[in-house]
Amino acid sequence: MLLVTDANAAYRAFSRRHGIAHQYVNLRAGERVRRSSEGAIHVQNVNSYHRRLRDWVARFHGVASRYLPNYLGWRRALDGRRVTSAERLLRLAIKPIHSKG
């Protein structure tokens, strides 16, 4: 497993504590992509998703922490283009998001 982050020291400490390989991209220094023999690493997908999620959640004027999984599931359905009609949204809404198995 590889954790790719910006250069914040908290990520380094977290990855060390949990035994996770870690590489970072120093955004403050203008580095957007780091290339190596294994390929390129970047955090732009994460940053893009974070921006879309933050902008979408803003319309609700904050959400309660206990409902956060519901909002994230809703956003995931929208991002995955799984919601193509009102009927599909209703079917997803009444289906358990997290199932054991």
Tens of pLDDT, residue by residue over 42-97, are 888 778 888 988 998 999 898 889 988 888 888 887 887 777 787 877 777 776 65
Question: Does residue 101 register a pLDDT over 70?
Answer: no
Per the structure, the complete domain to which residue 75 belongs is given by: 45-94
The verdict on 83 and 72 lying in the same domain is: yes
Count Cβ atoms below 10 Å from residue 24 Cβ, excluding itself.
19
**How many distinct structural domains can be found in the chain?**
2
Mean pLDDT of 18-43: 83
Nearest to 8 by CA among 29, 34, 33, 26: 26
Which of the four pLDDT bands, split at 50, 70 and 90, describes residue 98? low
The answer to whether residue 82 sits within a structural domain is yes
In a domain, residue 100? The reply is no
Are 67 and 37 contained in the same domain? no
Amino acid 15: pLDDT: 94
If asked whether residues 53 and 38 sit together in one domain, one would say: no
| pLDDT value of residue 20 | 94
